[in-house]
């Protein structure tokens, strides 16, 4: 087993509640942006129909974006903790 894959005994949570709130800001911005992009690519329906289609499309993409942010942050925190634990050893 390599040294980098050694378990870290730190049992603290990787994501705190403040991160969830801070993550909502870029997620909301992404949703608004993708709604506009999807609105422009919606079929030639009524104005309301195009907005609904854009919002539903952006909702799925925003969910994936949110999960990517969470995964990136967890990986970053885990790497920083492992590096810190390795420096202390």
- The pTM assigned to this predicted structure is 0.75
Mean pLDDT of the 17-29 span: 90
Domain range for 46 is 17-88
Please check whether residue 12 lies inside any domain of the structure. Answer: no
| Sign of the alpha-carbon torsion through 19, 24, 30, 34 | positive
Please check whether residue 1 lies inside any domain of the structure. Answer: no
Please check whether residue 68 lies inside any domain of the structure. Answer: yes
Task: Indicate whether 88 pLDDT > 90.
Answer: no
Task: Indicate whether 45 pLDDT > 50.
Answer: yes
Domain tally for the chain?
A: 1
Please check whether residue 79 lies inside any domain of the structure. Answer: yes
Task: Indicate whether 5 pLDDT > 80.
Answer: no
């Amino acid at each position: 087993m390599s040294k980098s894959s050694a378990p870290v005994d730190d049992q603290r949570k990787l994501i705190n509640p403040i991160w969830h709130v801070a993550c909502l800001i870029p997620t909301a911005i992404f949703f608004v942006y993708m709604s506009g992009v999807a609105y422009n690519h919606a079929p030639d329906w009524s104005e309301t129909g195009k907005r609904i289609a854009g919002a539903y499309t952006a909702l799925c993409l925003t969910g994936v974006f949110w999960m990517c942010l969470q995964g990136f942050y967890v990986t970053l925190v885990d790497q920083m903790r492992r590096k810190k634990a390795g420096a202390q050893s």
